[in-house]
Structure 1
């Protein structure tokens, strides 16, 4: 059986690493992109030790959109046919941290939304002749309702989810699945020092992601109970949401 070729953007992030490890254990070819060269090198060595057939890395900042075509070209050069693209980069800021810094608000949106849209579309265009493959993007349950404590972050994730819904309609007839991954709080460095209810481990979330990709799922809530939690949250009247401080 042909080994998979997997591209991971934001490869040193807390969720991306266990996903990459899962594919390494299957003997996959991996193309990894991140900003931190040292962390990326350590990750690559670990994946080779875990069974990856080949690991290539690229250091780049996703905010530099001028390099996005270069990123896709390098990934294609490593993988040939790309079976899976996982876009996993992002930053988190509570609203009170950026309320008086509009430039930082815009930077958050650029990292979490604009760069994701750009990379997802470019990979879609590069993969459309394949007739197969998955573009998987980590969004968040925070994108489903505006919250006073997190509305810039939530808006960035909502924008990506809407974009992915449109992409899905465009690429599904071509055999390419577009997966929207909506985790709740996950125990990763991003949430260090931010106590959260119902927090999940990164390994558990990664297992759910790999299963969803294998099955051709188009929307994943992880852990599973967030599907039901968010169904309730979506029913809360706006006049009540405005009063909630969470």
Structure 2
């Protein structure tokens, strides 16, 4: 059965570019230029993935993303945000609202298709590093893969799936430094085509969300990141 992709884009040229690339890659494609209509389509048809422009005519793409991630029937649908804006704060907003990736325009259609295929291939966690009975307790932080919960000193935190996997991976190996490439391989799959800068954006977002635990997420200049040992 073909994977279905909902494209939410109001630029006709970009619509056609994406449409042809996705159809040639074997996907079923539906296109809308309206954010409100996109929400309704997603609720009714449950596409396999959504490509969402950050700036639409009727409502902002971030509002669409937030609405979809809050609704129980659409919260698990992967969302790739598309935007001409490359500033860090805008990327953070999209990722913090639950977007699975952020792609700046203009982009190469082949790379877009590769990203989408990689997202589907990594639908399940790598069980060599993640198992359903894993529970990590580290400096007041408790992460439980059985229910994908994360708590700090008993308070429930709200991380996106990618943020959760990134923090879990680092906390499972405290004190060990990992390069951005190594982190990407572990949490997103070796075959994903993505810039290392995305790791930095996710780390910044995690630090904002974990409060007092943030100083334990350490940047190792010129190498990557680690979580402090006990």
Pair in the same fold by TM > 0.5: no
Q: Which has the higher helix share?
A: 1
TM-score normalised over the length of structure 1: 0.41
Higher relative contact order (CA 8 A, sep 6+): 1
TM-score normalised over the length of structure 2: 0.43
